[in-house]
Amino acid sequence: MIPVVVLWSALVYAVAFAVAARKPVSRPANGEWSAELAPWERKAPLARWDSYWYWTIATGGYEWKDDRRMHNAAFFPLAPILMAGVSRATGLHPFYAGEIVSFLSLLAAACLLARLARDMGFPPGATLRAMLLFPTAFYFAAVYSESIFLLTAAGFFVALRHRRFALAALAGMLAALTRPGGFLLAVPAAVEMLRAAPRQRFRHAAVAAGPLAGLAVFALWQWRRFGTPFAYVITEREAFGRQVTWPWLTLARAVRWKPHHPIEFVAILAFAALALVLLRRHPAEGGYALASIAFMLTSGSVVSATRYLLAAFPVFLVIGGALERRRALDLAYSAAGLAALLYLTSRFVAFVWVA
């Protein structure tokens, strides 16, 4: 699995550096890309958009005001903590540190995903190919939290399947400190608790407490730092345009919005259908994938949905199984996925918002 990830990363970076050499125009996430970061537009071509927010946390810590403006309190802490740690240990710029963290996390995550696929009876190679050739998979190499979350979540499922309960609880807590939906790993732990023998249920309940504890730690820290445990929620609602709503209302908006949101609508329905297929044989993994999709839809927006769907990664097990069985489907998926991946990578590097 490691050679596949290395080759995939080399291809993504080759495209990224080629596009960055054309000096893309900056359109930063907060409307004001720091002047000191201008040279890094070409040096770190996969540090874009939200990477700015991770940089501000890694270099200056969290800040927040209830003023209806964007603040870095909307971003969870594990990714910037790792960026800052690697940067200080090596002397590298935080963007380089972030790219190293993403690459190493993806390498480890690919090995864990392959092990999970084998444990569940799915083809490891086809599963990894299905994931890496998904159009927005380049985020696994970017200075984002996607690869770190994949590592912690895949580690959670592997540990849970092998009854390493303490390790599963720890992985779940770290996942919840990485992304907003990390606490949903409590769902598969609860599913396994209901299926377990009575004497094992307490251990599964302890595992479910891990992801919930991670979310609670971040909320309590924000309460101590900013006077409210909901700084993240307030910022998402007032500045990033996300607020709790019924999932079907979000889907209805996705159909009406143009020009690209119907694509998100189709992708969401496809992932939900595949999650239901997975649910029949593997309720823990399928239940988590469905919960992740539902959680995304309750935000009231499908902006970035094709990136957020990466968090529902157990779906790629089903896709990988289908690719293994049908050669024609494998060729079509691989060709279309690779073309879309390279195109969206080039757009992302050019500071065009893609997901």
pLDDT of residue 327: 94
Amino acid at 75: F
Q: Which tokens in the block code for residue 6?
A: 């290395």
At what angle are helices 261-281 and 315-325 packed, to 10 degrees?
A: 80
Output the pLDDT for position 348: 94
Separation of alpha carbons 31 and 36, rounded Å: 15
Neighbours of 240 (CB within 10 A): 15
- Distance between CA atoms of residues 203 and 189, nearest Å: 9
Please check whether residue 292 is in contact with residue 250, taking contact to mean a CB–CB distance below 8 angstroms.
no
Q: Quote the pLDDT of residue 29.
A: 46
In this predicted structure, what is the pLDDT of residue 144?
A: 97
Tokens of 214: 């991670």
pLDDT at residue number 93: 95
**What pLDDT shows up at residue 128?**
97
pLDDT in tens, 29-80: 444 567 778 788 889 999 999 999 999 999 999 999 988 888 999 999 999 9
Residue from 181, 195, 186, 150 nearest 168 by CA: 186
- 98: nearest Cα among 35, 140, 70, 60: 140
Asked whether 32 and 22 are in contact (CB, 8 A), the reply is: no
**How many contiguous H segments (helices) and E segments (strands) does the chain have?**
17, 0
Give the pLDDT confidence score for residue 242 in this predicted structure. 78
Run of H or E residues at 331:
helix 327-349
Please state, in angstroms and rounded to a whole number, the distance separating the CA atoms of residues 345 and 354: 9
Q: Cβ(100)–Cβ(111) under 8 Å?
A: no
pTM metric for this prediction: 0.94
Residue at 174: amino acid letter: L
- Residue position matching structure tokens 């919005």: 257
Which DSSP string do the residues of 146-177 spell out, in sequence order? HHHHHHHHHHHHHHHHTT-HHHHHHHHHHHHT
List of the chain residues with pLDDT < 70: 23-33, 254-261
Q: Which residue has the tokens 């607020």?
A: 243
